[in-house]
Structure 1
Amino acid sequence: MAAVKAEGEISVQQLTEWYPSAPRIIKSLEQAGFISIFEKQVYRDPLGEPIQPDTAHILTGEQQHAISKIERLLGGGFATCLLTGVTGSGKTEVYLQLAAEAVRRGLCVLVLVPEIALISQMESRFRARFGECVAVLHSRLSDGERYDQWMRIVRRQVNIAIGARSAIFAPFADIGMIIVDEEHDTSYKQDSALRYNARDLAVVRAKLHGGVALLGSATPSIQSYYNVTTKKFVGVTLKERVEKRPLPKITVVDLCTHRDARGSRRFITPELHRAMQETLEHGQQVLLFLNRRGFASYPVCGACGQAIRCKHCDISLTLHQDARAYKCHYCGYTLAATSHCLSCGAHKIRQLGLGTEKVEAAVKVLFPDARTARMDRDTTMRKDSIVNILKGLKNQTTDILVGTQMVAKGHDFPNITLVGIICADLSLNFPDFRACERTFQLLAQVSGRAGRGEFPGRVILQTYNPSHFSIFSATNQDFQAFYNQEISFRKALYYPPFSRMIQLKISGKDKQKTRQHALAVGDLCREVQKSDSVFRNNVEILGPIEAPLAKIASHYRWQILLKGLKVSPLHRFLHKLMFENKAIINSRSVRVVVDVDPFFMM
């Protein structure tokens, strides 16, 4: 009874947790007229954490200018704005104050972030400013939590929603602004089932609502920045960090010159080791970045030279020491770890290649007293794991964080003053025309995690290609220099943004049938091209060719690329190809999938 008096009202569930005999007592109290029992709709809180109220921060001159310029777009019809700025320049505060203005005008705001790992940070900032009128949407909510959040939007109980790419479908009726944070991130592209790019849909949906699409990034995509130069987008730039904090100093270490006494490559060089020691001695935190998970990415027999490969994919397995298993990162196939070769039986398996597990293990040997954590897909499978890792950094119960690209995206770690990039080249040599762009973005973003608090930051960048323009530009933190070089290559080769592309993905379980079907579709493409002068002059056909990853999940893979300066002839070509030739295209054993503006060429 005292508990009910203290709270005013309390749920039967809560009382039962405190007092297991409560249900029997409650019924007696109700019959005596001391209490009343009623039903009340209560929404499940996905985070379950108290809100720490916050007020608008004092703006820098650049932030004030940016907000004024973008506010003028609100209420003036559809517009797309690209907000660029160095890492740590205060883009989130700009989002918050623009959202406040939109809400003041009675409009709704949708905020997209590329990774679930970023939602808790963004949601806590928005809830601190706007209270309970913020909904959150992402795939790790339970069905009940997702239903509750969805219904809060439908019933207009909230006017702000934050989520990953699927949140673009949030059922708001009157959107005034859609904010796409880290707009360059490839995670916005859904590559299976319903294929869409949430960033591009944000622009389309803002147009439907007559609102503003605000795209933000310290390393904008080539496509978006090109749209600013051609006046298709409005451009706004923040050139300095808040409080005039300096950008981190980046030191390049050439890995070609570093070997140990046995001649092996060192992945924690003396320069990085020394910098880590100094940082830890000052009570500050270290971030080590390697965009490859697992322990060893290439287990190979020292006797016969055979790699341990996935039986379903055309790729080697990766050793995961924690799970004591070899795993395929494409189909999920798992093989118990073995010390003998599956081909010749020799007990000479060499664990070549790097992964975050191996880096973490080495760090624990080098710094046994340091508290080390790892953030990658393997350590963040459980619902609350991401939040707990981030809490460890915030509460300074973690000294060293080892992570993949998950740690590079928009996180604010004030006490991290050293970032070590173990190998900057991993994404550079992918057979994809965006490989240089992604490399620059990743390096610039992860470097930007250093020195965001009161202490200056530094970066040790280890690379085999220090003179490559994408790595050189990232080292100098010079987006404009990178853009100028990359856009000239794209223009010379008529790659996007100077053209549009459509990818035909052809896959099947029978190797020969898949090959024959791919060749038949390729022949059909050329017949359709010859049938119309518009197609002959405006559609280029590349392929068919085996995909770089020729087999995934027991499916053999081929691809054809359609390229054109304008999208309209491509759409007409595709319609004629797919709908007027169904007898040839359709097959029971081979599948043809269309991907417009593809992001993944592997």
Structure 2
Amino acid sequence: MSYFIDVILPIPLEKEFTYSVNKDEFVFLKPGMRVAVQFGKSKVYAALVTKIHQVAPLVYEAKEIEHILDESPIVTSHQLELWSWIATYYMCSKGEVMRAALPSAFLLESETIILKNDKITVDESILKDDEFLIYEALQHQSLLRIQEIMNITGKKTVLPIIKRLLEKEIIVVQEEIYEQYKPKIVRYVKLHAEYTKEQALQSLLESLTRAPKQKEVLMHLFMLESKNNKPIKISELAKAANSSAAIIKTLIDKDILEEYQLQVDRVQFDGDSSTLSKDLNTYQEKALQQLRTCFLDKDVCLLHGVTSSGKTEVYVKLIESQLEKGKQILYLLPEIALTTQLIKRLQAYFGEKLTVYHSRYSVNERVEAWNNVKNTTSKAQIIIGARSSIFLPFTNLGLIIIDEEHEGSFKQFDPAPRYHARDTAVVLSGMFASKVLLGSATPALETYYNAMQGKYGVVELKRRYGNVLMPDINLVDLKTKYKKKEMTGHFSDTLLEAIKDALRENEQVILFQNRRGYSPVIECNTCGHSPQCPNCDVSLTFHNHRNQLRCHYCGYHMAMLQKCLACGSTELSTKGFGTEQIEKELQELLPDYNIGRMDQDTTRGKHGYEKLITKFEDGEIDILVGTQMLTKGLDFRNVSLVGIMNADNLLNFPDFRAHERSFQLMQQVAGRAGRTSKRGKVLIQTYNPYHQILQQVSVNDYTGMYKDQIEERHQYKYPPFYRIIKITARHKDYNKVNAATLWLAKSLRMYFKEHVLGPEFPPISRIRNQYHKNILIKIPQGQSLGKTKEAVKKVHTTFKSVRDFAGVRIVINVDTY
């Protein structure tokens, strides 16, 4: 009798593959375990078992598996169900979802290894130059990897050389698969059982009188044991006794001390969770009761609370009630920057019950978090993380909190799966019959629309905590200021005076500019030429601290030019400004104060955010300049002034959500001001102070903005009334992309008539030497989403079989907003 398993491979293939297993493996295997399988000619992958059955595949003969990698499933049945939904809804393969979901340590792939064939004698004269280089390298080292061969030969395509050497039988090729996760083992030490009796211990200490250092180590061991009743690390003992590891080793060799090892987690909380959660004020208490009532008949509820209204404290109370029921809680945040501040607050309440999961953590740390969540350990009851944490193996999920739910960062754009964490979380909660709480001061239009339609519950929290007034928002007209010559660099006299006033009062200032770098354009004053990126259709941004021109799309960089590349003139000027230029201007204008900058350039590294936020909280930085990282829910107690350097580049963005996003961004930045007793102040510099969105921001009119925008969306057939699927074609040949998108649009119009828009080039049409062209499909409310996707897939499959379009990559993005 034959036995088979179906597996997902971590590669973008539509179908699952069937492999054969023997009877023992068939009995042992369960869905969610990994097996090493050979796919293609020689590549070995760690594949995930989804089904165990006895039906042979019809089209091909099933290969045998190499070996089983797990003793128990690493993926739960709920996860496999969620992966299926994501693959279907977001039109990608399960392999792509698997790649995004699993920590990379679980995605074992084999590595091709080249070894010397010792069985033959080689005639070196028959070898070509590149072949000889590899042969010579193998004389000095036992094996070579593909990357090393590329470095030795200086070529990117080395497979033909390897093939020639294989034909001449000079080398042999093997596939090596290796486990990436290594548990952290810590060495501990204790007194040997022999000396636990007082008499034996007494004679031991007497015998050590001639070895004072060893005796001292023992005395320190007793001190540490009496002080804290915890196992004692060897490193800890060596440090306390001011001794070396060699002396401790001597004591172990003499059987006086006994060494033992324990496996520990890499991320540990060392604090004390003694803080009780705060008492809620009347408005928060009322909101909490309304939420509890709302959750009786609605699974998703929106908490629409103004900035600094104390939403986090309401979340804490809901978390406490879930912990009492023994449930897991997922707390999703849009930015890693936000997690650093929130962790401190929640750890004070919940201590070790907290686990953090995001991309700045190392592979091993993520594996440990994954295992803790799957095993429902006490340290993984509350999981805080960015969007990827929805993929964790929950077993008993009770509540999902999505803070700042309007944020665009919850949507994954590249690579696939292009999922939206908020929408996926709603589906995930349905699998556990748990609840979802969406929190925001400026909810996404789609969310607010769902709440107004009664699909979601909604609770309002309109008062700031401690009855602090909403910030006073004023618009500064740059046109008038420039005319009256009241500008200093990029600062109007109004903003500069307000900054000085705040600093005199020992208060802090936040300045927001949504562009990093020094200056987005360098222009020649003689001929008007500005240096462009050779791989993308954008001008290079000047970064002053490195004296470099950089492309923010592909990472290309070059040294700052001394003269114009076109005409040789030395007169070069900068146009526009980024965070770096504001920082430099401030250092010149206010040399006595500390100025910090928070953008992608300054927060690289694992603890980049943490260091900056802590410095600002501790008052070491007086003025913090930053991009939109600053806007998202951070809580600074001493900020009295927020300045928005230029509101117009937000408003004039070519996107149907530009006005909604501008309103959200400015409201969120404004919300960082005046979070304690004193009323905060916000100054927005703009060339167009009469713009409707700016007027609505200045009076905190979310409802007015919602009504205007929803009316426009209805009129022009955009979400939430119409769904959108964006199809992008990419290729390095301009004409090929044009021909491909015309063919696609024509084919799609046969199904969807006037609901197909395009093909159209985006504002930046070439990135990393590839031309992009977009087609939009708008799906009206009555139209079946499933059948629409089937039609799109059918067209895509036909497209792939057209030889003229070979090499054109098609990217399908569902709900591209």
The one-letter amino acid of 2:816's match is P
- How much does 1:16 deviate? 5.2
Out of 116, 121, 124, the position equivalent to 2:336 is: 116
Distance 1:393 1:49 in 2: 23
Gap change, CA 1:160 and 1:344, over 3 Å in 2: same
Matches within 5 A, 1:481-560: 481-527=704-750, 529=751, 535-536=752-753, 540-560=755-775
Equivalence map 1:120-519=2 (5 Å): 120-157=340-377, 158-193=380-415, 194-259=417-482, 266-519=489-742
Task: Confirm or deny that 1:98 pairs with 2:313.
Answer: no
Distance of 1:147 and 1:131 partners within structure 2 = 21
Q: Deviations over 1:277-334 (max 9, x none)?
A: 1100011101111111100111111111111111111011100001110111111111
CA RMSD, 1 decimal: 2.0
Cα distance in 2 for residues equivalent to 1:540 and 1:265: 50
Say which is worse superposed, 104-113 or 142-151, in terms of deviation. 142-151
Specify whether residues 508 and 269 from structure 1 end up closer, same or farther in structure 2 by C-alpha distance, changes over 3 A only: same
Q: Map Cα deviations across residues 422-464 of structure 1 (whole Å, 9 max, x no partner).
A: 1112221111100001100000000000001232210111111
Aligned AA (1:325): Q
Q: Amino acid of the residue matched to residue 400 of structure 2?
A: I
Task: Give, in whole Å, the separation in 2 of the partners of 1:95 and 1:434.
Answer: 29
Structure 2 residue corresponding to 1:57, chosen from 278, 299, 320:
278
Relative to the length of structure 2, the TM-score reads: 0.70
**Contact 2:238-2:248 within 8 A present in 1 as well:** no
Gaps of 5+ in 2: 1-216, 226-230
Indicate the residue corresponding to 1:69 in structure 2.
290
Q: Any conservation in 2 of the 1:259–1:266 contact (CA below 8 Å)?
A: no
The residue that corresponds to 1:4 in the other structure is 221
In the alignment, which residue of structure 2 is the partner of 1:23? 245
19 and 154 in structure 1: CA distance in 2 versus 1, 3 angstrom threshold = farther
Distance across 1 between alignment mates of 2:576 and 2:744: 38
Query: Judging changes above 3 Å, is the alpha-carbon distance between structure 1 residues 509 and 400 closer, same or farther for their aligned structure 2 residues?
Result: same
RCO comparison, higher one (Cα < 8 Å, 6+): 1
Contact 1:77 1:211 in 2 (8 A): no
Size of the aligned set, in residue pairs, is 589
Secondary structure at the aligned position of 1:503 is classed as strand
Counterpart CA distance in 1 for 2:469 and 2:495 is 21
Q: What's the CA shift for 1:78? A: 6.6
Deviation string, structure 1 residues 225-244 (Cα, Å, up to 9, x no partner) = 00001011100110000110
Q: In 1, distance between residues paired with 2:770 and 2:240? A: 55
Distance change in 2, residues 1:550/1:18 (3 Å): farther
Look up the SS of the partner of 2:259 in the other structure: coil
Q: How does 1:557-568 map to 2 (within 5 A)?
A: 557-566=772-781, 567-568=785-786
Identity, % of aligned pairs?
38
In the alignment, which of 801, 804, 809 is matched to residue 583 of structure 1?
Answer: 801
1: CA distance, partners of 2:223 / 2:564: 68
Distance in 2 of aligned mates of 1:586 and 1:263: 60
Q: Cα offset for 1:262? A: 7.7
1:11 Cα shift?
1.9
Query: Which protein is bigger by CA-based radius of gyration?
Result: 2
Q: Is the 8 A contact 1:183 1:220 kept in 2?
A: yes
Q: Which runs of 5+ in 1 are unaligned?
A: 530-534
SS in structure 2 of the partner of residue 63 of structure 1? helix
Moved more, 263-272 or 485-494: 263-272
Query: Which stretch of structure 1 is more off in the superposition, 342-351 or 412-421?
Result: 342-351
Cα distance in 2 for residues equivalent to 1:215 and 1:123: 19
TM-score, normalising length from structure 1? 0.94
- CA offset at residue 579 of structure 1? 3.3
Question: How far has the Cα of 1:525 moved from its partner?
Answer: 1.5
Question: C-alpha distance in 1, partners of 2:570/2:634?
Answer: 44
> Contact 1:500–1:597 (CA<8 Å) still a contact in 2?
yes
Change in Cα spacing, 1:32 to 1:314, as seen in structure 2 (3 Å) is same
Q: Is the 8 A contact 2:334 2:409 kept in 1?
A: yes
Deviation at 1:269, TM superposition (A): 0.5
- Aligned residue in 1 for 2:813: 595
Query: What is the alpha-carbon distance in structure 2 between the residues aligned to residue 141 and residue 107 of structure 1?
Result: 25
Amino acid at match of 2:558: L
- Deviation string 1:532-560 (CA, Å, 9 cap, x unpaired) is xxx44xx7000111122110111101000
Amino acid at match of 2:389: A
Q: Which residue of 2 aligns with 1:532?
A: none
Residue in 2 that maps onto 1:84? 304
Partners of 1:13 and 1:78 in 2: how far apart? 54
Task: Report the CA distance shift for 1:263/1:328 in structure 2 as closer, same or farther (over 3 A).
Answer: farther
The 5 A counterparts of 1:34-49 are 34-45=256-267
